[in-house]
Each structure stands twice: as C-alpha cells, then as structure tokens.
Amino acid sequence: MSTSTGVTALDHTVQETNVWLKAIDEQLALENRHHAYSALRAVLHALRDRLPPEVAVKLGAQLPIMVRGIYYEGWHMAGTPTKERHVEEFAEHIVRELPPQFPINPLAAARGVYEVLWERLDQGEFEKLMAHLPLSLRNLQG
C-alpha cells in the first residue's frame, strides 16, 4: 500500500518505517503489520528502560525518525533504569507492553527485533549498547 503525503521528507519517513515493520514481519513470521509494530514497540521500550539514560539516548539517535518516536514514547529520561538481570524479568517487561493474546512469546519477539536492530544499525555502536546489558539479555541477539 503506497500512500503519498506530498511531503518528500514525510513520505520517506513513512516508507522507512514500513521497511522496518516489514523486516520484523519477516523475522517473526507475523504476517500482520500491527503485530510487528507491537513487537517493535514492546521490545524497544523494555530495552530502553533497561539501559542507562545516556546509552538509551545513543540508541534512540540511531533509529529512523518514526521508530525513534515509538522508542521514546512515554519515556521519562530522569527515571532510573530497571535492573532486570534475568531474561525472565525482561520477558515480563515485554509482555506488559504487548497487547493481550499476542501471537508469539516475548523472547521470540525480542530475538526478532534484536536481529532487525543488528541488521539496520551501525553494528559497532549496537555492540557497545548491548555491552550494557547482562549476558542473558545480550544472548537474545543471535
């Protein structure tokens, strides 16, 4: 579906976001753009809330503009990062962000979104960001 706003920068931003959502659709075999959006949002929020604020900002700066908006939605930079040390706690955080009866498990969603982040962001910078996570959360990235 192609929708043109007539504003080149906005059209590019929408197109870029759709490319991200399609990549997540393919990674997770969701076949539903709304589910791809929900997975992206939930995992980005859980990841963002786990990182120190200065690192979270560095990750946000690498994201395309509309994905960056999803990432920063509801974030209060002054807050203290969560100390989720175990993968189960991270999964619970993702579940809290997902709609009810989401079709895949939260760790599968995390793996798929991590893979898209790995493919689309500067790999060196992404590795530096991942170094701020406990090993169990870093290992979600295949």
3-state secondary structure the chain: CCCCCCCHHHHHHHHHHHHHHHHHHHHHCCCCHHHHHHHHHHHHHHHHHHCCHHHHHHHHHHCCHHHHHHHHCCCCCCCCCCCCCCHHHHHHHHHHHCCCCCCCCHHHHHHHHHHHHHHHCCHHHHHHHHCCCCHHHHCCCC
Q: For residue 40, is pLDDT > 90?
A: yes
Q: Domain containing 101: what range?
A: 8-138
Q: For residue 129, is pLDDT > 70?
A: yes
Number of structural domains, the chain? 1
In a domain, 14, yes or no: yes
Mean pLDDT, the chain, integer: 89
In a domain, 21, yes or no: yes
In a domain, 78, yes or no: yes
Taking only the tens place, the pLDDT of each residue in 78-126 is 666 677 678 999 999 999 999 999 999 999 999 999 999 999 999 888 8
In a domain, 61, yes or no: yes
Express as a percent the part of the chain with pLDDT over 70: 92
CATH code at 49?
Answer: 1.10.490.110
Please give the pLDDT value at position 103. Answer: 94
Q: For residue 14, is pLDDT > 90?
A: no
In a domain, 88, yes or no: yes
In a domain, 118, yes or no: yes
In a domain, 129, yes or no: yes
